[in-house]
Amino acid sequence: MYNFRRWTIVAVVVGVVVFLATFLPQALNPVPPSKEKREADQAWINTSPHWLDRQACRWFSLCGLLHVRRDPPEKPKHEDDGHELRLELRQVLDEELSVISKGGHKDNKLRGIPDYVLNYAPLVHLYSKEFFWPSDIADHMKHVMPDLGEDKWQQFNNESQPIGLSNLNELSSKLGFVHLNSKDDVESRPEWLHSKNNIPAAFSDEDDEVEGPDDSEPDRRSGEDTTWYEVDRDHPLHRISDPRKLPGGMPKPIGFAKRSRDLKSRQQEQQRLLSQEAQDKLNRLNKPDESGYSRAPATLVLVDKGSGIIDAFWFFFYAYNLGQTVLGTRYGNHVGDWEHCMIRFESGVPRAVFFSEHEGGQAYAWHAVEKRGNETQIQRPVIYSAVGSHAMYATPGNHPYVLPFGMLKDVTDRGPLWDPSKNLRGYWYDYAATKDDEGLEPAKENPDEPTSWFHYKGTWGDKLYGLDDVRQWRLFGQYHYVTGPQGPKFKNLGREKVCQTWRCRIIHSIAEGKKGSWHS
C-alpha cells in the first residue's frame, strides 16, 4: 500500500509537469504557430548535440536544462576595468551648437523641429539601480558585426567602407535580412553593454513643481471636440458634430461645458506663452546645461499625419536588455533595445502620450500623465523606465505582465532624470514614401545626420542562440536569450491611432491604466 501511494504521488507530479509543459506555453502564446514557425522550432531543437536534451525539449518543453545557472546583471570587475565617468559636456554642446549655427547649409528645404515639440519633450526617470544605461547607436556599431560568417563579412567589408550609420542599409539592400551580433561574449558583460558613461547628469530640483497624474473618474473626456485620436492622411481630422456626444458614443459628462471652457482658456494661455517674446525668454531659461544631459543621443522622429496632427516619436536605445527572473531563472535577455514614447499634437497642443510598455503599450490623455516643471516653464510629461527591460510606464512601482500573481513584473522608480531634448538626433519621416530607402530626412537643426541606418531591416542584436550554445535555455516556452529587435522604422510610425497596435483607446486616468485596460 505504501509503495502504491508513493508511485501514485510520483505519477501525479509527472502528470502535472507534463500538463504545465504542454499547456503553459500555449497559455503564454495563445496564437497557434504557423507551419514555418513549427519547422523553425524543430530546426532550433535539433541544434542540440544531445539526444536526451532534444527529447526533453520536445516532450516536456525543458530545453537546455543543464545550461541553467545564475545570470547576475553585472560580472565582477578586474582591477584594470575601472574607469572614471566624464561628461565632457561643454565640448559636446559646443559641437552641437556649431552644427546648429550652420542651420541647413546642406539643404535649405529641410524642416525644423517645432518649438512645441521640444517644450513638451518627455523627461525619463531611469531606474535608480539600473545596470544598462542609454547608449549611442553610433557607438553600438563599433561593437557588433553582421552574422555573415567571417569570409563573407570580410568580402563585403572590403567592397565598401566600414559599416556604420551612414551605410547600414547596404546590408539589407544587398544581403536581405541580417542580424548584428555582438563581437564580445555578452555573458562577460563588457563595459559597452553597461554604457555607464551615459548616466544623465544630476537634475536640479530647485524651484521644480511636480504635477501628479490625474486620477479623476475614467469617463473624463475633456476637450475631445475633434477626432485627433484617430487620424492620418487618409482619414482627415473631423469636428465632432453632436456636442452631446463624445468619441465612442459616451454621454456628455457632468461639468463638460465648464471643462471645455477651461480647456479653451488653457489653449489660449499656451498660445500666449508661445508668442515670440515669451518663447525667447523660455529659450533663455532652458538653455543647454548639464541637468538631465546624457552623452547618448535620443532619436526624435516627427511624423506629419495631416490636419495639423504631428506625432513626435522619442526613441531611446540601450545596448542590452536584461530579462526578468521567474523563480530565480532569467528570461528574455537580448542585445540592442529600442524603446519609445509618442506625443500626439493637434495644432501645437499636446493631446496624448503613448508608452511602450509590455503587452502592446498604453496611451494616456495629456491631462492624465504626471508632469514636471516650474512656474516659468511649460509642464513636461514624466516617464518611468523599467530596470533591465527599459519598458516605459506612467507611474513608479511594480508593473506585472503575462504571468499571474506578479511572478513576472517590471519595476520603476524615481531614479536619475534624463532630459532627451538636451542631446538628440532629429528627423522628419514621410510614412507614405513609396521606396523602402526614402521618406526620412534630417531636421534642419542637424542637417548632416545620416539616414541609412533608419531603413536597415535587420535586427540590432544577436540572432536567437541555438540549443547547442551553453548560454541558452528554454523552459516552458520562454528563452534565456531572444533575438534582438528591429529599429524605429518598424514601430508602426504611420499609425492612425495613438497606440502601436490597432487595439487602442485613450486612457483618462492613471487608476484606469493600472487595470491594464488598453484592450478594446
Per the DSSP assignment, residues forming a β-bridge with 123 are 382
| Count of Cβ atoms closer than 10 Å to residue 14 Cβ | 11
Specify the higher pLDDT residue, 469 or 401.
Answer: 469
pLDDT tens, position by position, 434-461: 888 899 999 999 999 999 999 999 999 9
Q: Which of 26-40, 223-237, 445-459 has the highest mean pLDDT?
A: 445-459
Q: Residue 417: beta bridge partners?
A: 125
Nearest in space to 176 (alpha carbons), one of 476, 419, 457, 481: 457
Domain boundaries, the chain: 2-63, 111-132+200-444+476-513
> Among residues 100, 503, 487, which one has the least CA distance to residue 313?
487
Query: How much of the chain, in percent, has pLDDT values that exceed 90?
Result: 48
Distance CA 318, CA 337 (A): 5
Considering only 43-47, 158-162, 465-469, 498-502, which range has the smallest mean pLDDT? 158-162
Mean pLDDT of the 96-102 span: 39
| Sequential DSSP letters for 415-447 | -PEE-GGGSEEEEEE-TT-SSTT-SEEE-TTST
DSSP state of 488: G
Q: How far apart are CA 28 and CA 20, in angstroms?
A: 11
**Residue 500 — pLDDT band, cuts 50, 70, 90?**
confident
pLDDT greater than 80 at residue 492: yes
pLDDT digits (tens, 9 = 90+) for 233-274: 888 888 765 444 444 444 433 343 443 444 445 445 455 444
Q: Using CB atoms within 10 Å of the CB of residue 47, give its burial: 0 to 12 exposed, 13 to 18 middle, 19+ buried.
A: middle
Mean pLDDT calculated for residue range 217-245: 66
Radius of gyration of the chain (CA): 25
Maximum alpha-carbon separation in the chain: 92
Phi, psi angle pair for 141, to nearest 5°: -65, -20
- Does 237 or 466 have the greater pLDDT score? 466
List the single range of 66-80, 207-221, 240-254, 495-509 with lowest mean pLDDT. 240-254
Which pLDDT score is estimated for 402? 64
Q: Is the model's pLDDT at 279 over the cut of 90?
A: no
Q: Could you tell me which residue, 161 or 179, shows the higher pLDDT?
A: 179
Given a contact cutoff of 8 angstroms between Cβ atoms, the answer to whether 180 and 464 are in contact is: no
| CA torsion through residues 248, 254, 259, 260, sign | positive
Place of cell 492624465: 368
Residue 139 has pLDDT above 50, yes or no: yes
pLDDT in tens, 361-376: 789 999 999 998 765 6
- Burial profile 205-222: b = 16 or more Cβ within 10 angstroms, e = fewer: eeeeeeeebbebeeebbb
Q: What pLDDT score was predicted for residue 84?
A: 39
Asked if pLDDT for residue 354 goes beyond 80, the answer is yes
Q: Is 40 helix (H, G, I), strand (E, B) or coil?
A: helix
Query: Average pLDDT, stretch 2-20?
Result: 70
Mean confidence (pLDDT) of the chain = 79
Please give the average per-residue pLDDT across 209-234, as a whole number: 66
Mention every residue, 6+ apart, whose C-beta is less than 8 A from residue 500: 354, 356, 360, 361, 491, 492
Coil, strand or helix: which one is 216? coil
Give the residue, 194 or 248, on which the prediction is more confident: 194
Lowest-pLDDT range, 39-53, 78-92, 290-304, 368-382?
Answer: 78-92
* 3 state SS of 150: helix
